[in-house]
A and B are shown apart, each in its own frame.
Chain A
């Protein structure tokens, strides 16, 4: 076993369940670790042996392409045996409860479980029933900590800092775990966080969560350094939360004209997958200010860092 960067501060937790409750030092330690991990994926030989002999289970109760692939690659690049559990073919479909699934998997002695679940709080519940480390890959509308970390890393690499930046998070904040994790993380690192959405897509009382709230996108974009767009689920677009796709894109879609209201050097982010022409225009998504592909690359680096940090807590290390 290599002992990665012994001089750096260790991540203090056994699990990574959310950004909430993490100290600024923990966050920055992870970002530093991820910064160091980024070159690994650009090498010809992408393998390290930090997790050699370890077992990582990706347990995804919700469909995912990029997050699952990202965790899988991160685990494999660190030498772990990675197993993907597809819920569609598992015993969950046969009516097994979450806790029974956790207990069963625990008996197989994995070292790290990566969990995504459609219910807020489900990952936390599962973490209490297993002996290994658990990483939250998204729970309901609650948190998606590795997404927030990769967003922060992407911003830090491009802007050199997070402190003092104005970040506008725009779209379906109500249902977004990405927005929640980012609001906490970016505020903790000293950014000014704004949220922009129609009131029907804002959680009640959001103005008390330390963010500035805008219902008019044009006003919210003024002076923004970072514009972070959120995905709008198509089923939420037909009159339930917003009247229609065309009205949403007219008032809350990011196009060149609206982007021009932000700072000239503003950068555009999106956790993906994008709805072209709905929340983001193709010319913006594919334009020079877009960081969307860089976010995906940093996603692998951040997950490598998270796995490495958690590995220090594994027994027999």
Chain B
């Protein structure tokens, strides 16, 4: 196996964890970072070392995506671990957290074991399972956090389901705390969301579509914050999408609760106006919100209130999307466009590059307790190289996902990933 050392030289090194943003190189040996800094140059490299001149491109930790729906097991026609990981590698994502809403669901250690073996054998990037918060994701009975954590679960969530019963939620939080298990619930009051299919507001009214008020998210999140205070556990709000929700998180955090939050790249870069004439690729859960909410999310990202950006990658085939808006499935793919879409916020001057990358590397690593997500000696060599300025048009046909439901279809984006390393091995070049 003893692969020769690899040196990425002449790069703009960005390590969001330490704030490093400087010229230099990274030396990789045996799958881990061996040296880093201005001294890692072509001239200093050993004879056996393979050298890649990055020509000033950004070299940073590989991205960690905390919310990816993979079709395997059960919906391989939409996406497999192989195709999802190919999309991830092409997008610079080196670790994905797989959501538990598979068939069968990830609520049993044996199913987790299956997923991890399949990932080991077929996936190019690291796949970490998030197990179910409640059995069958039905919101009624807490899952086996102890056994599931031993089997490899890094977090617990019901995906796009919100536990409606407060007693169940309280017990889930209480029991999870004993096992130091991270829970990342989805917050939506099901009754208030009702049969809504998009954000409640002017655009929904104009389209004649039933709306989901922002309060549906706020009420569930508010309840959860009160339970977190009662139980004193850890809580990661999987997706916050409104200014109202951000206020709730800010208040909880100011009072000392161990609360973190994430949002999707879609909610940071798109709004409900983008739905236009019933474009179902923009039908998401939670729904795309107003421009005011989007602006609030961008500000929260810049200020650090928003910890994590996820792709919320959710492959749906045409049969699930080419339907009347109200009947179409929720979800958009996003692994491959995550970084480039995020760079829109950098190019527009709203967010510093380092801050954007932190929300996709070090913050998820810290929340999940992972060794990757940083450029540090001894850390796993999960590293990407990208040119933040190079433009490209998103061509769905060329995307690696088995499903093509991207809201960035034909969009002009900037930021091309040129190299993706997982444990020092190139999985995309």
Interface of A with B (CB < 8 Å)?
Answer: 198-200, 215-216, 238-244, 246-247, 250-251
Interface residues of B in 139-157 (CB under 8 A from A): 140-147
A276 to B241, CA, bound (A): 49
Q: Is the CB of B171 within 8 A of A240?
A: yes
Q: Which B residues lie within 8 Å of A200 (CB)?
A: 142, 171, 174-175
Q: Is the CB of B174 within 8 A of A243?
A: no
7 contacts between A and B (CB under 8 A): A198-B174, A200-B175, A239-B134, A239-B141, A240-B141, A240-B142, A243-B175
Q: Mark B164-197, 1 if CB is under 8 A from A, else 0.
A: 0000000100110110000000000000000000
Residue of B nearest to A238 (CB): B141
Q: Known contacts A239-B140, A239-B142, A243-B141; decide if A199 and B174 are in contact (CB<8 Å).
A: yes
Q: Is the CB of B144 within 8 A of A244?
A: yes
User: In the complex, how many angstroms separate the beta carbon of A204 from the nearest chain B beta carbon?
Assistant: 9
Does B135 interact with chain A (Cβ within 8 Å)? yes
A215 to B233, CA, bound (A): 14
Contact of B147 among A198, A241, A247 (CB under 8 A): A247
Contact of A239 among B135, B177, B231 (CB under 8 A): B135
Q: Which B residues lie within 8 Å of A246 (CB)?
A: 144, 147
Q: Known contacts A239-B134, A239-B135, A241-B171; decide if A198 and B178 are in contact (CB<8 Å).
A: yes
A238 to B144, CA, bound (A): 10
Q: Known contacts A198-B178, A200-B174, A239-B134; decide if A247 and B144 are in contact (CB<8 Å).
A: yes
Q: Mark B259-300, 1 if CB is under 8 A from A, else 0.
A: 000000000000000000000000000000000000000000
A14 to B143, CA, bound (A): 49
Residue of B nearest to A242 (CB): B175
Q: Which A residues lie within 8 Å of B145 (CB)?
A: 243, 247
Q: Is the CB of B144 within 8 A of A243?
A: yes
Q: Is the CB of B144 within 8 A of A198?
A: no
Tally A-B pairs: CB < 8 A: 45
A128 to B174, CA, bound (A): 39
Residue of A nearest to B143 (CB): A243
Interface of A is mostly: loop
Q: Is the CB of A199 within 8 A of B135?
A: no
A258 to B282, CA, bound (A): 54
Residue of B nearest to A244 (CB): B144
Residue of A nearest to B141 (CB): A239
A251 to B149, CA, bound (A): 13
User: In the complex, how many angstroms separate the beta carbon of B149 from the nearest chain A beta carbon?
Assistant: 10
A215 to B175, CA, bound (A): 10
User: In the complex, how many angstroms separate the beta carbon of A258 from the nearest chain B beta carbon?
Assistant: 14
User: In the complex, how many angstroms separate the beta carbon of B397 from the nearest chain A beta carbon?
Assistant: 45
Q: Which A residues lie within 8 Å of B171 (CB)?
A: 200, 240-241
Q: Which B residues lie within 8 Å of A247 (CB)?
A: 144-147
Q: Is the CB of A215 within 8 A of B147?
A: no
**4 nearest interchain CB pairs?**
A239-B141, A243-B144, A247-B144, A215-B178
Q: Is the CB of B141 within 8 A of A199?
A: no
Q: Which A residues lie within 8 Å of B135 (CB)?
A: 239, 243
Q: Is the CB of A199 within 8 A of B175?
A: yes
A198 to B142, CA, bound (A): 13
Q: Is the CB of B147 within 8 A of A250?
A: yes
User: In the complex, how many angstroms separate the beta carbon of B135 from the nearest chain A beta carbon?
Assistant: 6
A244 to B174, CA, bound (A): 16
Q: Is the CB of B178 within 8 A of A199?
A: yes
A240 to B141, CA, bound (A): 6
Q: Is the CB of B178 within 8 A of A243?
A: no
Residue of A nearest to B108 (CB): A244
Known: A199-B175, A243-B145. 9 other contacts (CB 8 A): A239-B134, A239-B135, A239-B140, A240-B141, A240-B171, A243-B175, A247-B146, A247-B147, A250-B147
Q: Which B residues lie within 8 Å of A199 (CB)?
A: 174-175, 177-178, 231
Q: Which B residues lie within 8 Å of A216 (CB)?
A: 178
Interface residues of B in 41-68 (CB under 8 A from A): none
User: In the complex, how many angstroms separate the beta carbon of A219 from the nearest chain B beta carbon?
Assistant: 12
A194 to B63, CA, bound (A): 46
A175 to B135, CA, bound (A): 24
Residue of A nearest to B178 (CB): A215
Residue of A nearest to B147 (CB): A247
A216 to B147, CA, bound (A): 14
Q: Which B residues lie within 8 Å of A239 (CB)?
A: 134-135, 140-143
User: In the complex, how many angstroms separate the beta carbon of B190 from the nearest chain A beta carbon?
Assistant: 19
User: In the complex, how many angstroms separate the beta carbon of A253 from the nearest chain B beta carbon?
Assistant: 12
Q: Which A residues lie within 8 Å of B142 (CB)?
A: 200, 239-240, 242-243
A242 to B144, CA, bound (A): 8
Most buried by B among A241, A242, A247: A247
Q: Mark B209-222, 1 if CB is under 8 A from A, else 0.
A: 00000000000000
User: In the complex, how many angstroms separate the beta carbon of A244 from the nearest chain B beta carbon?
Assistant: 5
A177 to B90, CA, bound (A): 60
Q: Which B residues lie within 8 Å of A251 (CB)?
A: 146
A242 to B171, CA, bound (A): 9
Most buried by B among A216, A240, A241, A243: A243
Q: Which B residues lie within 8 Å of A238 (CB)?
A: 141
Q: Which B residues lie within 8 Å of A241 (CB)?
A: 171
Q: Which A residues lie within 8 Å of B146 (CB)?
A: 243, 247, 250-251
A244 to B135, CA, bound (A): 10
Q: Which A residues lie within 8 Å of B175 (CB)?
A: 198-200, 242-243
A302 to B146, CA, bound (A): 40
Residue of B nearest to A241 (CB): B171
A239 to B174, CA, bound (A): 13
Q: Mark B63-79, 1 if CB is under 8 A from A, else 0.
A: 00000000000000000
A250 to B146, CA, bound (A): 9
